[in-house]
Chains A and B, each alone.
Chain A
Amino acid sequence: MRLLFLPENHVLPLARLLAARYRFWGPAAKGGAFVFEEIADVSRLRLDYSTTLLPPKQAFLPPREILARIDIETHECRSPARPGKPIALFGVHPCDLHGLAHLDLAMGEPPADAPYWRARKDAFIVGLACVQRCMPESFCDSVESHRAGGPFDWMFTPVAGGYVVELRGEAGEREASESGLFEVAGESWKKNYDETRDRIEKTFSGRRLNLASLSSDLERSFQDGWWEKLADRCFSCGACTAVCPTCVCFDVQDEIAEGCRMAERCRSWDSCLIRNFAEVAGGENFRKLRSERLRHRMMRQGAYLAGRFGLPVFCVGCGRCPHACLGKISPLEAFEHSRKFPIRRYAQRLVEHIKNGVTRHE
């Protein structure tokens, strides 16, 4: 691990350098909150931001994106090329870095998603450590994503007078040395750095979940009537998935363009909470009830995707969804509840299930 120091007043010059070579994304203030967006004028950069309304996911998986442009007459088709320059994400908090790592897994599982990777491949990612909790709803520490992790090239940790920057990989080294803005390690900031890291650990010492058993606990709670109770507080509006850094579900629809000559096959973010998400022709809906859809999302975050990719959990605790949810439903609540689910009731249901004669292996 190589550490360098960046004085506070070098941040903007550095951002400017990156902005010249990359499409520059960072946190900026908008309408009384913060958003992660492409910013032309780097002085809008707000490294003091709390959290953003949407995660930086949209840099690589935009809310609406054209997958193919197809000539309606000839059927000739092409994938729209992304604008030439790669993307730089500047100032990504640890939860969102972990979120990007999860996205990489979901979009990287073979067959990997080409539109995503075209944007993601040469992206330069700059992390920024959190020294305080961004909002009451966040629970990054419960799922252990309050520490630096995920795909960063630089990781900034604020210390007195500037940032200690951890460099990673070839791109991180190259950009740092080409910029000429970093300073070599001194003893004082080293001490400062360790202190900050200790402080972060102390600040983020919320209740840790038993991540080892989380997914099995959750899966066991599947038949619990508690989900129905929880769904009384759910509108099934999909706000939670929309703001989630790890949700990837999408819809694909054709649009007509260019004087009815071209079709644009577009994908747009979808949500497993939306009523018709699992409905097929003929009207069968595999998750018809609000409670089934809510449960599915929690299972995806806490069990399904985690299991699929060998992780303890697929939620990064950013707290965006409980903040967005008007019923104040938090994954943390579901994760914690799953442990309380009484084994006895599970056993009882299993017996019923076997009595029904359908399954043997439960």
Chain B
Amino acid sequence: MSDAAGSAVDYLPELSTLAAVRPLTAAESLFHLDMPHRALGHHPGQFVQVSLPGIGEAPISIASSPTRPAGFDLCIRRAGNVTEAIHRLKPGAKIGIRGPFGRGVPIDDCMGRNVVIIAGGLGLAPLRSLIQYITDHRSRFKAVTILIGARTPETLLFPDEYGAWRSRDIKVEVTVDVSKETWLGHVGVITNLISRIDVDPDTTVSIVCGPPIMYRFVLRKLARRNLQNDHIYLSLERRMKCGMGKCGHCQINGLYVCLEGPVFRYDRIAHLPEAL
């Protein structure tokens, strides 16, 4: 008890400064934040609680790798109060930060292996942190494939970065659900892409992030490619208020997404009826 009292953590946001904003799509922009007093010290896949006084707080994944110097990126979709208010900010504005929170992608389990990254929609935001990490330490990983799905070409995130990723010997495959004639790439759901790649079940790990309905189909497909559940990682979203395993909102059965997740190894949650 006295331990808990001694090490207890408050809900006070720390100050960060919005250094730059880059619009990505109609609904999403990339925000670069600087923390004046410390480095964020995060792992790929972790998230922070972002807040504006009078508006509120929202959990947002960190979209840049800890290997990149100075500051960090957040890729934010306009979805409600906090996210919309952040979209109204200009560089120089102050933003409150708590965190980083949660368990990110276990890099050690990916090293020396083939990595298949599967991102649907906004799911690419948290995975970009991992992708940057991989490009910065490319030699530590074997074959790396990124499968990206979006609704339309216009909603694709970071298309201007795919070239740089490819140049680091990473295979990037992109598909959209619906497109205009100008689109020359794949059309169709992201699971189609899984059929098209090589998967060696013994040496491959896959990391998946996307909208809730995507997981079921992707998992079925990966199972068909004989990938074991303990080689699959999922990043899940739930409602969150505290980020510290207290408020109860993010619970999946008995697990707290904010503490045990948001990145879960699939075999650890496969038996949980509420997970997917």
Contact = CB atoms under 8 A, between A and B. Distances in A.
Direct touching of A and B (C-beta under 8 Å): yes
A56 interface: no
Contacts of A281: 79-80, 83
B4 A117 contact: yes
B248 A114 contact: no
Given A70-B96, A286-B274, A114 B79 contact: no
Contacts of B179: none
Contacts of B13: 68, 70, 75, 77
B10 A114 contact: yes
B41 interface: no
Interface string B64-95: 00000000000000011001000000000010
Interface residues of B, number: 52
Nearest to B13: A77
A169 B8 CA distance: 22
Given A68-B13, A252-B241, A299 B248 contact: no
A361 to B, nearest CB: 5
B137 interface: no
Chain A interface category by residue count: 35 or more
A106 B248 CA distance: 10
Contact of A263 (B54, B212, B248, B271): B54
A254 B54 contact: yes
A278 interface: yes
B12 A107 contact: no
Contacts of B10: 67-68, 79, 114-115
A68 B211 contact: no
Nearest to B250: A278
A84 interface: no
A110 interface: yes
B243 to A, nearest CB: 9
Contacts of B3: 108, 112
Interface stretch (B107-115, B151-159, B165-173, B215-223): B215-223
Contact of B53 (A78, A151, A263): A263
Contacts of B7: 110-112
A282 B83 CA distance: 13
Contact of B248 (A78, A262, A270, A362): A270
B229 A113 contact: no
B270 A282 contact: no
Interface of A: 67-68, 70-72, 75, 77-79, 104, 106-118, 120-121, 151, 222-223, 248-254, 256, 262-263, 265, 267, 270, 272, 277-282, 284, 286-287, 296, 299-300, 303-305, 307-308, 357-362
Interface of B: 1-5, 7-13, 15, 51, 53-57, 79-80, 83, 94, 96, 211-212, 216, 219-220, 223, 229, 237-239, 241-242, 244-249, 251-254, 267, 270-271, 273-274, 276
6 contacts: A79-B12, A106-B246, A114-B10, A120-B5, A282-B79, A360-B223
